[in-house]
Amino acid sequence: AQTVTQSQPEMSVQEAETVTLSCTYDTSENNYYLFWYKQPPSRQMILVIRQEAYKQQNATENRFSVNFQKAAKSFSLKISDSQLGDTAMYFCAFMKHRTDKLIFGTGTRLQVFP
Amino acid sequence: NAGVMQNPRHLVRRRGQEARLRCSPMKGHSHVYWYRQLPEEGLKFMVYLQKENIIDESGMPKERFSAEFPKEGPSILRIQQVVRGDSAAYFCASSRSRDENYGYTFGSGTRLTVV
């Protein structure tokens, strides 16, 4: 069975600084997808970034980028130039290829300070 | 282009009552997924439905929980005889087809509180 581990329950960063959120996962699959979701206080689940396991190039979306280390089963999220609006819970998630289920970690609460 | 609509946003039920949670998928989406988020935890898969069919219910508790997605109207997650442990946020997601693997579009969730 696949598992997703986020070992940082809480993180904080000052506005305009860079922060990295950790995520590791366990799977015997070779073909899968990884995601980072943001959940602000409004509770909406917002897709931040997505990575296909077969792609070696790390995904980037504006200020958000990932460090995908397939052999180490690591998928960290880097937020550059942090903004107050980045304050939220961040969830790492795994999906096996050709399945329907997202498997989520327990989340990291990020606080951005002015 | 409305997103995934869930209602109610908040629902309070007394122990033993029934809870009905509704989810209208995005326009053009015929696949619906329900997830549950217990306090301080990540979301956990419950059930995957297509119109009039349950495709995968491996995450559904065996008793008191049921889901449907009729030909017309929203998907319904029904919890009978609610207990305190059912208190959670319930999220719905939708997709146009199976295996899209882009992470779906989620609604804002229904927070169920059992008193």
What are the tens digits of pLDDT across the range B26-67?
988 889 999 999 987 889 999 999 988 999 999 999 999 999
Size of interface A-B (CB pairs under 8 A): 63
Enumerate residues 6+ apart whose C-beta is below 8 A from A91.
Answer: A6, A36, A37, A38, A39, A45, A104, A105, A107, B42, B43
Residues in A closer than 8 angstroms to B47, CB to CB, are: none
- Residue type (1 letter), A48: V
Characterize the bridge pairing of strands A74-79 and A64-69: antiparallel
Please report, rounded to a whole number, the percentage of residues in chain A having pLDDT higher than 70: 100
Radius of gyration of chain B (CA): 13
Chain B interface, mutation test: which of A37, A45, A96, most B Cβ atoms within 10 Å?
A45
Model confidence pLDDT, tens digit, residues B2-28: 689 999 999 999 999 999 999 999 988
* Chain B nearest-CA residue for A51: B102
Closest CA to A90 of A53, A17, A40, A16: A40
Assign residue A86 a region (left: φ > 0; alpha: ψ between -120 and 50; beta: otherwise): alpha
- Tell me whether residues B35 and A102 touch, CB distance under 8 A: yes
What pLDDT does residue B95 have? 86
Q: What is the pLDDT of residues A53-83, one digit of tens each?
A: 988 899 999 999 999 999 999 999 999 999 9
Looking at the predicted structure, is the pLDDT value of residue B1 above 60? no
Average pLDDT estimate for A2-24: 96
SS3 B84: helix
